Amino acid sequence: MKSLAPFRLPDPVGGPVDVLIIAGEHSGDEQAARVVRELRAKRPGLNIAALGGPELARAGAQLLHDLTASSVVGLVEVLKNYPFFKALFDETLRWIAEHRPRAVCFVDYPGFNLRLAAQLRERGLSVKGGGKIQALFYISPQIWAWKAKRRFTMARDLDALAAIFPFEPACYADTTLPVEFVGHPFVGADYVSPVRYDPAGPVLLLPGSRTQAVERIFPVLLAAYAQWKQRPAVVLYPSEEVKAVLEAELAKHAPIPQLTLARTGGQLAASAVLTSSGTMSLHCALAGLPGAIAYRTNPITYLLARWWVKLDYIGIANLLLKEPLYPEFIQGAAKPASLAAELEVCVNDPGRRQRTAEQAARVRALLSQPTGGSAADWLARHL
């Protein structure tokens, strides 16, 4: 990861900033970009700046820094990169104090964003600290999975939260924080799925969007496909950094002519998927793609997670349904032979395909936008 010293965020262009959006991962960048596009259509005069990624820039926000190129996963990886994040954190605080946006909208990325919200309050910059900056949060941290007590510090530091899962407002019922379910962006009117189901299509291998996670799970997905190879496979990647990891792993093995790499963008037809537990797993679930989840992380991170996280599933579609739309293969259970067997069933068992389609329809209904409006409507009400 590159050093930030010397480092300074650029000054805003176009006058005072109405909202600063902070989204630190590819999924947050994409979801925040949808909000910005809708918000700019409703309020075209708004000046929006962002620490995010290329999708926010394309949506019309002034990109101050590309956070998506810096994302890491797991406690060990975060500790290794602490100097980077400390410099970024301090510079972001300086920028907010100098330029005073009307609101800061934090998008997911809780390890960074919740600490920043606390500092805005402590320094008297946010409304909760006696200042004028609205501290808003879009996409709740997974307090229903771990560190549930965060809800009380969030109520102390934030002015409002927009949730994308229907069960989340109840998680904050014992706090003073206003929480509103705004529907999930993947079932919004402007949503275009990156995948669609085609029984004759290739299989998808989705190792994730963060390089450390990809380094751990892609060798397993590749070995599983190498054992099966009944039809072509496509490996999707979101960034050049991830592509480099994929190419480095492929270079260790004999060429597999029917396997190709493709950057995310547009829509890809597929018949089945082996995916990490991230955002793409929900894209695939909503599209009705049969598949399975495979996940490996740093062993220390995993041991800590087993202690802290109390969930039956790691895939969000599975959590919503309280049953496995995607069977989950975690750590040592993520073995090539097991995953190859899943591909066989997903492609060749009509019963599995039908069950996945029925489960996908139930997930879509659960995530649909309520009558209160979208995330952009929620954000506009606070500006």
- CATH number, residue 110: 3.40.50.2000
DSSP, res 269: E
Range of the domain at 126: 19-183+368-381
Q: What share of residues in the chain are helix, strand, coil (percent, to 5)? A: 45, 15, 35
Whether 12 maps to a domain, the answer reads: no
For the cut 90, the answer to whether the pLDDT of residue 329 exceeds it is yes
* Mean per-residue pLDDT, 260-270: 93
Q: In what order do the strands lie in the sheet with 179-181?
A: 62-66, 48-52, 19-23, 103-107, 134-138, 160-163, 179-181
Whether 119 maps to a domain, the answer reads: yes
Give residue 142's pLDDT: 87
Examine the domain organization and report whether 42 and 100 are in the same domain.
yes
Least confident window among 64-73, 243-252, 277-286: 64-73
Query: What is the percent of the chain where pLDDT is above 70?
Result: 92
Return the ∠ at Cα 182 (arms to 179 and 187), rounded to 5°.
Answer: 150
Examine the domain organization and report whether 355 and 374 are in the same domain.
no
Residue 86: both structure tokens together: 């400390």
Whether 6 maps to a domain, the answer reads: no
Task: Give how many domains the chain has, as a whole number.
Answer: 2
- Give the helix ranges, DSSP H, for 61-142: 75-80, 82-99, 110-122
For the cut 70, the answer to whether the pLDDT of residue 4 exceeds it is no
Examine the domain organization and report whether 121 and 203 are in the same domain.
no
23-39: per-residue pLDDT in tens? 988 889 999 999 999 99
**pLDDT bracket for residue 219 (50, 70, 90):** very high
For the cut 50, the answer to whether the pLDDT of residue 375 exceeds it is yes
What is d(CA 101, CA 11) in angstroms, rounded to the nearest whole number?
A: 12
For the cut 70, the answer to whether the pLDDT of residue 247 exceeds it is yes
**pLDDT bracket for residue 248 (50, 70, 90):** very high
Whether 200 maps to a domain, the answer reads: yes
Examine the domain organization and report whether 246 and 322 are in the same domain.
yes
What is d(CA 311, CA 319) in angstroms, rounded to the nearest whole number?
A: 8
- Does the pTM surpass 0.85? The reply is no
Examine the domain organization and report whether 76 and 212 are in the same domain.
no
Query: What is the percent of the chain where pLDDT is above 90?
Result: 76
Examine the domain organization and report whether 373 and 363 are in the same domain.
no
CA-based nearest residue to 265, from 296, 286, 288, 239: 239
Return the ∠ at Cα 306 (arms to 23 and 339), rounded to 5°.
Answer: 80
349-372: per-residue pLDDT in tens? 999 999 999 999 999 999 998 877
Give residue 300's pLDDT: 66
Give residue 307's pLDDT: 55
Examine the domain organization and report whether 161 and 232 are in the same domain.
no
Examine the domain organization and report whether 33 and 168 are in the same domain.
yes
Q: What are phi and psi of 112, to 5 degrees?
A: -90, -50
Q: Parallel, antiparallel, or unpaired for β 160-163 and 134-138?
A: parallel
What is d(CA 181, CA 183) in angstroms, rounded to the nearest whole number?
A: 6
Q: Please list, in sequence order, all residues whose beta carbon lies within 8 angstroms of the beta carbon of residue 17, skipping any fewer than 6 positions away.
A: 47, 48, 49, 99, 100, 101, 102
